[in-house]
Structure 1
Amino acid sequence: MALWLLKKSLNFMAMIQKATLTFLEALKYHNNKPWFDAHRKEYEAAREDFAGFVDTLIAAFGKTEPSILHLKAKDCLFRINRDVRFSKNKEPYKSNFGAYINAEGKKSVKAGYYFHLEPGASFTGGGLWQPMSAELARVRQEIDYNLPEFEKILGAKKFKDTYGSLAVEEGQVLSRVPKGYEPDNPAATYLKYKSYTALANLPDTELVARSLLSTTVKAFQALQPMIAFLNRGIDA
């Protein structure tokens, strides 16, 4: 009986519950403190559901990436409150849950893995997003010195099948190569990037399916060589 309950519990945490998506959808349209306070129990249940999935994901992916096995969901989850001090958008809450899985914690400057839960806009993946200038300079140097290796990583079948290519975000690519590099540098295309991330969209139907865990683990595994390359550059 106990074993059956354990298996049921693991299956429960291996996907996202529909109620969690329902809460986030409602929050998007009722993004104010009175509504949030009135629905705090639903928020707590949704966050617990997401945290349970993240804990299960850490345990599953940790078999491939042992460096993260010491982490708990609380080390990875971001707050739902938005920092509105310098934003034109004054909505007090995010309408998503996010988890950054990195051996050094969610505040690490190194590349890591990310899961974004937002109805209609969920994705998994990771990399190095908007790094500080020192870390960015080291990564660019690593790419310049080891371009064939970097191109091989991005050209690997698992990576291409999962992500296609590096993510190209608005405002995250320079118009010219950075200072210190010649315009005709063979790595010029990649040297212009200000972020090095790869993202794979997750439809809502996948979020509530038992295959979500294996889908996410496989996506993270496809990203491992790139994460290792980026972090090697940062550590250099």
Structure 2
Amino acid sequence: MLEPQTLRYLSALKANNNKPWFDAHRTAYEAARIDFGNFIQLLIDALGKHDLSVAGLTSRDCLFRINRDIRFSNDKTPYKSNFGASIKRGGRKSPFAGYYFHLEPGGHSFVGGGLWLPDAPKLKTMRQEIDYNWAEFRGILTDKTFKKTFTDLYRGDDQRLSTMPKGYEKDNPAAEYLKLKSFIAETRIADEALTKASLHKKTLEAFVALKPLLDFINRGIE
């Protein structure tokens, strides 16, 4: 579970997203980040028993910085109003698919993972893997536990092509997945669930349900 004051801090930061306020409340920030880091470390330690590729990671390997990269953004607010952690082989900067936890009060928290916007060579490889191994890929997505947790991969218009990628026919049985630019699954977490003791168990169960998909993706990357 996460401490209520961690959620309160992030909500306050969203309403006061400027450096003077951040500096004045740095102690609260440090406490919130430690709380989130401790939660992520518990997840890593438990998940490592199911996925040896992440065993031995520390939360520091996986947590994202609170500072936003504003160099090419019209939004110049300096800080994120969320905490995020990417748990994967080699840590958050590695090229592999991994597990992700997103903490953002106000109904925006979620747990999930996968491969986000891979570069062109990896995207081409992923499409080939799905095409060549469609029965296996479909089996992963239709698995009872996966469907109960995530329903399907995210297929929003912002993460898929409007037409088939070059080299694939429109009637390909995997058509809707070959159009994807990212291969991710996620499930929302209600604010009230974030401070309950069951959060750790439910997050771990979601990650375990996601593992076959990550194994499929990472096999292609390798």
Q: Equivalents in 2 of 1:224, 1:125: separation in Å?
A: 10
Determine whether 1:180 maps to 2:170: no
Within a 5 Å distance, the mapping from 1:159-198 to structure 2 comes to 159-198=146-185
Using the TM superposition, name which of 33-42 and 165-174 deviates more: 165-174
What's the offset of the Cα at 1:177? 1.1
Determine whether 1:149 maps to 2:136: yes
Equivalent in 78, 81, 102 of residue 95 of structure 1: 81
Equivalent in 3, 7, 11 of residue 25 of structure 1: 11
What's the offset of the Cα at 1:167? 1.1
1:201 alignment partner in structure 2? 188
* AA matched with 1:80: I
* AA matched with 1:167: Y
1:45 alignment partner in structure 2? 31
Q: Equivalents in 1 of 2:42, 2:200: separation in Å?
A: 8
Using the TM superposition, name which of 102-111 and 38-47 deviates more: 102-111
Q: Equivalents in 1 of 2:182, 2:18: separation in Å?
A: 32
CA contact (8 A) 2:96 2:221 kept: yes
Q: Equivalents in 2 of 1:169, 1:91: separation in Å?
A: 26
What's the offset of the Cα at 1:34? 0.3
Report the secondary structure of 1:180's partner residue.
Answer: coil
CA contact (8 A) 2:113 2:210 kept: yes
Equivalent in 115, 122, 126 of residue 113 of structure 2: 126
Determine whether 1:232 maps to 2:213: no
Report the secondary structure of 2:216's partner residue.
Answer: helix
Q: TM-score, normalised by structure 2?
A: 0.98
CA contact (8 A) 2:108 2:189 kept: yes
CA contact (8 A) 2:18 2:78 kept: yes
Determine whether 1:55 maps to 2:36: no
* AA matched with 1:25: S
Aligned length: 221
Runs of 5+ consecutive residues of structure 1 not aligned to the other structure: 1-14
Q: Percent identity?
A: 57
Two-structure CA RMSD over aligned residues (Å): 0.8
* AA matched with 1:195: S
Q: Equivalents in 1 of 2:70, 2:214: separation in Å?
A: 31
What's the offset of the Cα at 1:169? 3.1
* AA matched with 1:100: S
Determine whether 1:36 maps to 2:22: yes
